[in-house]
Structure 1
Amino acid sequence: MQSLSRFLPASLSRDLPASFVVFLVALPLCMGIAIASGVPPERGLITGIVGGLVVGLLAGSPLQVSGPAAGLAVIVFEFVRQHGIEMLGPVIVLAGAFQLAAGAVRVGGWFRAISPAVVHGMLAGIGILIVLGQIHVLTDALPQASGFDNLVAIPAAFFDFVSGEGNRAGAVAVGLATIAAMIGWERLRAARLRMVPGALAGVLAGTAVAVVGGLAVKRVAVPEAILSTLSPPGAAEWARLSEPTMIVMALTIAVIASAESLLSAAAVDRMHDGPRTQYDRELGAQGTGNLICGLLGGLPMTGVIVRSSANVQAGAVTRASAVMHGAWILAFLLALPWVLAMVPTAALAGILVVTGWRLIGPHHALHLHERYGLLTAAIWLVTMVTVVVTDLLTGVLVGLALSLLQVVPALRKGRLRIEHAAAPETAGVPELRLSGSATFLQLPHLTEALERTPTGGEVRLATTGLAHIDHTCLEMIGDWASRRAASGTRVAVVGGRGRPHDRLTAAVAAPAKD
């Protein structure tokens, strides 16, 4: 790092190595997510390139990295199975148009109002579906159409493995070596080797097992000329875009991709002290990226937390890092596509098994139960189960409906009112007086009021008239207080008693974690 700083501008000397780290993380994930989505791996790589070169330039969250997301793999797989890969492009284009429209009318902030219980329940359900599907890919078999079918088929896959059918044992050995190396590297790697991500170490280990052992396992099929894979939709596909099924699918992708991107951006904001996310701009950038991905034949994209956190931890300070990671992927595909053909699909499945397991995150349920009660944790559980047994959109809608039911009693306590004033006992100290009921329905208004408070010194939140506050508002205020504390602002909760006052005091004292 010090040697780079002698020859490069200060920001570029940090962004350049960070971009290479993100590239190393993104490369196996782009391919693995594509295979889990039931499409060729180069389609995931196309989305990674667009996510860097285009969305990286336009993004409202400068340090967020965009690309194909595991959270969309499940619904893309099912859609491709039912309607064919040809229809995926037009649907992604329409989803991007929906996102652009949403950003233009400034609804980006409303995605932050989605209950954390619903978000984490959705991600947990996706994680279960990914693990169930990729267990079969670990044996060089094809995943089934649904999570339930994948679960039922596991005994048969185990029988094939035991009986030695095909080269299932070799594929399993590759997958297990990948998982062990990935987890072991992340726990044991030396400080000098931190540039090598665990996912890449896992793929290298799995590939080495296949090559050294001479195993006849399935490998990634990547065309020598990546540009030859670009396949804009034809007239017949565009004509089908008016079908209700296609419109519903486009809306589903738009809503889920937007929610995941903006929630990821909020998480990235907690990791650094640089510029905060402009949510409507980020939403428009994601829409532009999906428009281009649909036209080029890629996968739908979102902002992705794993690659984004790697970007921040590697020391990135501007959007140049995200842009350059896309350039690294493109350069690698143009110069060394034959290297990818050595990678076993079981190795990529191993990475996704670990990724899916981490998405399940039962600690989120424990956190919700401990801080916000059994009912909030139940929303997480119901959302997760519904996603697994039905589909992603149904699970999210059920979770949102339960969240609305949860706040109905609170609405009778009055609408949230926010007054700006100076604290009477300390002249000049800004004070926000909260009264009524603070629920996720008023989250954008509350967020705007908090962000207008000055930085530095002290800010007071007066809760004398506050009758209720839900966990979505508490999580947001905890995040805001954490960022203000990092900038030298002391946040004090004053003037109230009872449960709302105590819960807000606890949230400010111990801000929520992802």
Structure 2
Amino acid sequence: MTQLDLPDERRKSGVPRWPKATLGADLGASLVVFLVALPLCVGVAVASGVPAELGIVTGIVGGLLVGLLPGSTMQVSGPAAGLTVLVAAAVQQHGLGAVGVIVLGAGVLQIVLGVSRLGSWFRAISPSVVQGMLAGIGLVLILGQIYPVGGLAQPESTFAKLTGIPDLLIAVLTTPTGRSGLALAVLALVITAVWKKVPGKLSLVPGPLVAVVVTSALAALLVLPVQKVQVGSLLETIDPPGAADWGLLTDPAVLGSIVTFTLIASAESLFSAAAVDRMHDGPKTQYNKELVAQGVGNTVCGALGALPMTAVIVRSAANVQAGAKTKLSRVLHGLWLLLFVVLLPGVLSFVPTAVLAALLIQAGWKLLELRQVAALVREHRSEAFVLVLTTTAIVATDLLIGTLTGLAVAIVKTALEVSRLSVKAEHGDEQVRVQLRGNATFLRLPRLLDHLDQLPAGKHIHLDLTTLRHLDRACHQAVEHWAAQRRRSDGTVEVALPSQVR
């Protein structure tokens, strides 16, 4: 038995939690995850309209705190690109102070859901709705981040982002800032694409980090007129919610935001867990404990006024692929983030915002998952319809309304598919035998009554309902009512009911 397999009793008795045999692998993996997380933490914060340091704070909490909690072993938590749309909207509508209140509220709600053992229920959400939700977030993210590439501030609404594209093109083509930003963004995307094919140990260095270093150095050497990341003190940036911010809890819009953050962050974390579990052979995620861990992390992030966190598939996949063996790798990645922001904060001020925008555009493109959408269209058109509708509704309205619309349509679609009903009539000289198969529910009631009303008058009708898998009260009452009416007119009716309703 290895130390990884030791039961809890022996761990409590003094056996090291992280065995020496895996220390080297976890240390190397933690450095890889740190290098992946650093530019993404900063990029997500900038895209959300908050100080860059707050993104790193969330990454630190995700490593040092959530990394120690039970739930998942290989999953890495931090600020996620999928939540930038929500955070940016909250900042614009309620101010930066409200973000802490919303994130803390969402964290507490996640803890309640996890303790109530509702974490597993998130796995029951229709994959089409989740994919449509992520695609909608990806589209909105791309629409927002194309503006920093051109040196412009992104508009607040999706409609304004669409109508502002002509002005963006003019700025990109005619201004030094726009041309320089576009060149750096394209170069960053090319580097990340090419770096995936680099052989040997160099491939362990994350492509996004290489792109940030190369483009930042180029911008500094050529003195390009591009906007850079603004960096301040970590301690000064941390701003817990004040008394006025807590008063926002009486605002229905803020309460709605808390619920939205909870649902989206929880779903993204637990779906990420399902994906990460398929990448390794170690202990699998305990969903309710993982939801509690995410809730604790978001509660602390909210108290610090930082960004919300989720488990992030990019960092988690990098952790597994780098050879991590225990939780130590994700804990150490949080420590490296802390040391970097304390010892080398000025390095971030060399990074062009156009480059971070390019990396987030790439993240948004990955969220679209166009290959999976195309496969879904070919194989399951009804599921593809739910996906496209959810995405369109999110882009046209907002994340909460769009997701709820997709869920409602998915439920109706599933109900219609489950309640399939076959009505077969065999006509004889003096009798018509009608057999019903499937599920007779109120959703199929209009079709059932149409068939019954078309039966010829003056003949004996034998209704065979014994082969139905399910007969609900609405259909049962409608059939009995129709039979009574037919008996009062000019015919005889015999109804054979399923055994469970006789």
Q: Is the structural similarity TM-score above 0.5?
A: yes
Matched, 1:222 2:231: yes
Matched position secondary structure for 2:78 = strand
Question: Partners in 2 of 1:53 and 1:353 — Cα distance?
Answer: 28
* Whole-angstrom CA distance in 1 between matches of 2:70 and 2:356: 28
Counterpart CA distance in 2 for 1:332 and 1:129 is: 31
Structure 2 residue identity aligned to 1:145: E
Q: Is the contact made by 1:220 and 1:342 (CA closer than 8 Å) also made in structure 2?
A: yes
What is the DSSP-based 3-state SS (H/G/I as helix, E as strand, rest coil) of the residue aligned with 2:310? strand
Unaligned runs of 5+ in 1: 1-7, 415-435, 438-464, 469-514
Q: Which of 337, 343, 350 is residue 329 of structure 1 equivalent to? A: 337
User: Residues 410, 155 of structure 1: CA spacing in aligned structure 2 closer, same or farther, 3 A cutoff?
Assistant: closer
Contact map agreement 2:51 2:237 (CA 8 A) in 1: no
**Who is 1:318 aligned against?**
326
- Post-superposition Cα deviations, 1:458-505, rounded to whole Å, max 9, x if no partner, equal xxxxxxx9x99xxxxxxxxxxxxxxxxxxxxxxxxxxxxxxxxxxxxx
Trace 1:430-441 onto structure 2 (pairs within 5 A): none
The structure 1 residue matched to 2:370, chosen from 362, 366, 370, is 362
2:286 paired residue number: 278
Aligned residue identity for 2:309: M
**After the TM superposition, which residues 18-29 of structure 1 pair with which residues of structure 2 at under 5 Å, given as runs?**
18-29=29-40
The amino acid of 1:178's aligned partner reads A
Distance in structure 2 (CA, Å) of the matches to 1:47 and 1:93: 12
User: Contact (CA 8 Å) 2:195, 2:203: kept in 1 or not?
Assistant: no
TM-score, with structure 1 as normaliser: 0.77
How many Å apart are 1:412 and its aligned residue? 4.0
Unaligned stretches of 5+ in structure 2? Answer: 1-18, 422-437, 440-466, 471-502
Q: Which moved more, 1:296-305 or 1:201-210?
A: 201-210
Q: Are the counterparts in 2 of residues 59 and 286 from structure 1 also a CA contact under 8 Å? A: no
Instruction: Kindly state the Cα deviation for residue 206 of structure 1 after the two structures are TM-superposed.
Output: 1.6
1:190 alignment partner in structure 2: 199
The alpha-carbon deviation at position 394 of structure 1 amounts to 1.1
Secondary structure, in 3 states, of the residue corresponding to 2:164? helix
Deviation track 1:355-413 (CA, whole Å, cap 9, x = no partner) reads 11111111121232344x21011111111111111111111111111111122135447
Q: Secondary structure of the residue that 2:223 maps to in structure 1?
A: coil
Question: Match for residue 443 of structure 1?
Answer: none
Q: How do 1:317-396 residues align onto structure 2 when only pairs under 5 Å count?
A: 317-371=325-379, 373-396=380-403
Q: Distance in 1 between matches of 2:212 and 2:159?
A: 28
Name the aligned partner's letter for residue 166 of structure 2. P
Cα 1:151–1:59 shift into 2, 3 Å: farther
Where does residue 471 of structure 1 map in the other structure? none
Match status 1:157 vs 2:168: yes
Any residues of structure 2 matched to 1:456-495 within 5 Å, and which? none
* 1:259 partnered with 2:267: yes
- Checking the alignment, whether the CA contact within 8 Å between 2:67 and 2:331 is kept in structure 1 is yes
Which has the larger displacement, 169-178 or 387-396?
A: 169-178
Q: Which residue of 2 aligns with 1:169?
A: 179
Q: Is the 8 A contact 1:177 1:209 kept in 2?
A: no
Work out the CA distance in 2 between the residues paired with 1:194 and 1:238.
Answer: 47
**Alpha-carbon shift at residue 236 of structure 1 (Å):** 1.0
1:490 matched residue in structure 2: none
Q: Which of 303, 307, 319 does residue 311 from structure 2 map onto?
A: 303
- Partner residue of 1:33 out of 21, 40, 44: 44
Does residue 46 of the first structure (1) align with residue 47 of the second (2)? no
Q: CA deviation at 1:342?
A: 0.8
Match 2:110 to one of 79, 86, 99: 99
Greater gyration radius:
2
For the 8 Å contact 2:74–2:320, the answer to whether it is kept is yes
**Within 2, Cα distance between the matches of 1:321 and 1:173?**
36
Match of 1:409 in 2: 416
2:152 aligned with 1:144:
no
Q: Is 1:249 aligned to 2:260, yes or no?
A: no
SS in 2 for 1:167: helix
3-state SS of 1:341 partner: helix
Partners of 2:192 and 2:251 in 1: how far apart?
43
Farther off after superposition, 38-47 or 169-178: 169-178
Q: Does 1:70 align with 2:81?
A: yes
Q: Which amino acid aligns with 1:389?
A: A
Q: Does 1:293 align with 2:304?
A: no
Distance (Å, rounded) in 2 between the aligned partners of 1:294 and 1:62: 24
